[in-house]
Chains A and B, each alone.
Chain A
Amino acid sequence: MISRKGLISIIRKYPIYTLIIIILLTLPIYAPSFFVIQIAYGLIFGITGLAFNLLLGYTGLLSFGHAGFFAFGAYMMSLPIRHTGIVHTLEVYLAFAFITSAALGALLGLICARRTRIFFSILNLSFGLIIYSFFLKFWGFTGGADGTHVPTPPLLGMKFAVDKEYWMTHIYYYYILAAFFICLAIFWVIVNSNFGKTLQAIRDNEIRAQFTGIRIYRYRHIAYIISVAFTGLAGCLWAPLNGHTAPEIAWWTYSGDIVMLTILGGYQYFIGPVIGGLVFNVFKIYTIGYTVYWMLLLGIILLILIFFIPRGLVGLGISIYNRLTHKKGSSKG
């Protein structure tokens, strides 16, 4: 366990992250339900972003198909319920979604782990579209365009006698928050492990990596499996929150959202896609509410990002923080 002194020094060192954690932990006490639910979605997109960024930020591979894997994970919950009529505790589906998504990643990785750049991106775009069409066209099996209803599942084997809104904002919210922290810890370990450094070496220079005795395809493949598995897991967490799975979540514009939220947060930073996930979702929801031109707004913001803050919100935050505290150079996020 961390000692009290250790805890205080961590808080001193990372005041902003401490503040964010406190806000996340206490949010349901004072925030309106609608906002709490949006943050729950944001946390799930944060997990998705972490999984996606293992490829983009750490391996140098840009996928345009991750919405397909997210949808796949969600359907791994809705389809078994649709066909058996039995609702197990959520963990069963999370495990199932994780394993089947990993298997999907293993299979598709055979095709795309040897490709990079535009070839990798386009291959994943087509995987996403194939998954989309599968859920759309096999209506007898998947419910087609109408999708499939997802009932509220027991959590850790427990049923809660509360209304849906309270369940979402006070119970499932904390469940998602816990899942989020676990995923955050897992990804932190992965990117700071031997394997994580090996991925970064491959990203920086695959020829040199090869001549250092690194089997680049094998490790790209493993990174891809991990990424798809956790994206599927995020999709499965999303399903009961949304209460419904439909093919449109596999549509390529949602893959674009995942790319965008990661760049918004800052793909060079570990925490970037998490901040991106939270901000992007809140931004999207509120601008859709206020203007029909939200796509235009998003486009403009993306332009600003690329030209003026290429290191994303986290990069921007760090440089502002450093300027305020008169620190030179950049520290890691």
Chain B
Amino acid sequence: MILETQNLRKYFGEVHAVDNVNFKVKEEEIVAIIGPNGAGKTTLVNVITGYLKPDGGKIIFMGKDITNASIYERIRAGIVRSFQLVNIFEGLSAFDNIRVAINSRERKEGKIFSLIDRDTTVTKEALQILDLFGLPKDTLARDLPHGDRKLLDVATAFALKPKLLLLDEPTSGVSTREKNKIMDVIIPAARKEKVSLVVIEHDMDIVFNYSDRIVVMHQGKILFEGKPDEVREHTEVKRVLLVG
């Protein structure tokens, strides 16, 4: 088990966004979290990644209790995320978005007297990542089309070489064809780099095609979890997702 939450809780007043959740991810596993809007999926990711403090419970990552670790410590431990709404460095080129991430991973983001263009290893790796994700080099992030912006968001997270990568709706707002394109980049890359992947996703076809295991959330609780086939057959899940 790479990640395990124990009775994790996060309440917003009356809203029990995450309600005693025991969520597990195995090494190199690809887990999809599904559930209707407001089910608590994003909040669960927010608490796991340190964006929000939990109200109760524990988070165990690679055998260590990280419930109270800072965002920085979690990233250094290998927990990386993307955001539901595109969250990139808008004024930088796609290339620089990636280079900043690689620099941070290599802990040379603070070097004042080394010109970023002179670093051939980082430049080479960044170009490879851009190539993998099919992104243009010099276009400013803010000028990219929406699909590419989503991809850049994921690519930046990828450049950090995480052990556990949590993607919050990496394909939201793009066409079905583009959704498949995005997943066809992410999934093989995750398998190749042996990353454990958690994907929040709305599109059922995508979820059934690409994940090893599916976790269904509803009103802050895990309603059901299992293999794609098991979830497909589960009547209660169908009802919740249809009503959702």
Instruction: Find out whether the CB atom of B103 lies under 8 angstroms from the CB atom of A197.
Output: yes
Instruction: Find out whether the CB atom of B101 lies under 8 angstroms from the CB atom of A212.
Output: yes
Q: Which of B85-119 contact A (CB under 8 A)?
A: 87-92, 96-97, 99-101, 103-105, 108-117, 119
Whole-angstrom CA separation of A213 from B76 in the bound complex:
7
Q: Which of B75, B90, B117 contacts A211 (CB 8 A)?
A: B75
Q: Which interface residue of A195, A211, A214, A215 has the most chain B CB atoms within 10 A?
A: A211
Whole-angstrom distance between the Cβ of A333 and the nearest chain B Cβ:
15
Q: Which interface residue of B71, B88, B96, B100 has the most chain A CB atoms within 10 A?
A: B100
Instruction: Find out whether the CB atom of A212 lies under 8 angstroms from the CB atom of B71.
Output: no
Instruction: Find out whether the CB atom of A211 lies under 8 angstroms from the CB atom of B49.
Output: yes
Residues of B within 8 A of A214 (CB): 100, 104, 109
The answer, yes or no, to whether A236 is at the interface (CB within 8 Å) is no
Q: Which of A213-240 contact B (CB under 8 A)?
A: 213-215, 218-219, 222
**A23-31, A65-73, A199-207: which one contacts chain B?**
A199-207
State whether A211 and B103 are in contact (beta carbons under 8 Å apart), knowing that A197-B92, A204-B90 are contacts in the complex: no
The answer, yes or no, to whether A208 is at the interface (CB within 8 Å) is yes
The answer, yes or no, to whether A84 is at the interface (CB within 8 Å) is no
Please tell me the size bucket of the interface on B: 35 or more
**A99-107, A170-178, A185-193: which one contacts chain B?**
A185-193
Tell me the interface secondary structure of chain A in the complex. Answer: helix
Residues of B within 8 A of A209 (CB): 89
Please tell me the size bucket of the interface on A: 20 to 34
Instruction: Find out whether the CB atom of B116 lies under 8 angstroms from the CB atom of A197.
Output: yes
Instruction: Find out whether the CB atom of A215 lies under 8 angstroms from the CB atom of B92.
Output: no
Whole-angstrom CA separation of A182 from B115 in the bound complex:
17
On B, residues with C-beta under 8 Å from A are 49, 51, 71-72, 75-76, 80-81, 83, 87-92, 96-97, 99-101, 103-105, 108-117, 119, 156, 160
In the complex, the 10 A-B pairs of residues with the closest C-beta atoms, listed nearest first = A213-B75, A204-B89, A194-B111, A195-B112, A213-B104, A198-B109, A201-B100, A208-B87, A201-B89, A204-B91
